[in-house]
Structure 1
Amino acid sequence: MLAIGAAVLFAIAFLINAADMSTNDVFTSTNVMLIGLALLALHVAGIGNGWAGRRRR
């Protein structure tokens, strides 16, 4: 789920950069890309993978 969020943020950052949109200082394409990289790092670390299935015997 975090990887999907990262992909969406990368797409938004690309659109902001490609359209050369002027945004405020917080919502720049670099900041959005860095948030996407943080989500991707959390996904690779194994956080947000969903429920860990417990087995019953």
Structure 2
Amino acid sequence: MLAIVAAVLFLAALVFELSGFALGVLTATVLVTAGLLCLALQMAGVGSDARRLVRH
């Protein structure tokens, strides 16, 4: 789920960067940083369902 959020953030950052658009402090750099944070949390296992990892 966090990987999908990261993809959406990266898409928004690309649109912001290509159009030169910014909403106050919400710039392309901020969106890329938030996307990288989401990817790092995904890789760390945050949000994963522990019951799916255990095989019976």
Q: Same fold (TM over 0.5)?
A: yes
Structure 1 residue runs of 4 or more that deviate by more than 2 Å after TM superposition: none
State the TM-score, normalized to the length of structure 1.
Answer: 0.82
Cα distance in structure 2, aligned partners of 1:55 and 1:2:
23
Cα distance in structure 2, aligned partners of 1:47 and 1:17:
29
State the TM-score, normalized to the length of structure 2.
Answer: 0.83
Q: Where does structure 1 lack aligned partners over 5 or more consecutive residues? A: none
Q: Where does structure 2 lack aligned partners over 5 or more consecutive residues? A: none
The structure that is helix-richer by fraction is 2
**Aligned-pair identity (%):** 43
Change (3 A) 1:16 1:55: same
| Mapping 1:9-48, distance limit 5 Å | 9-24=9-24, 26-48=25-47
**1:1-55 C-alpha deviation (Å, 9 max, x unpaired):** 000000000000000001111431x200001110110000000111112x22167
Aligned-residue RMSD, C-alpha = 1.5
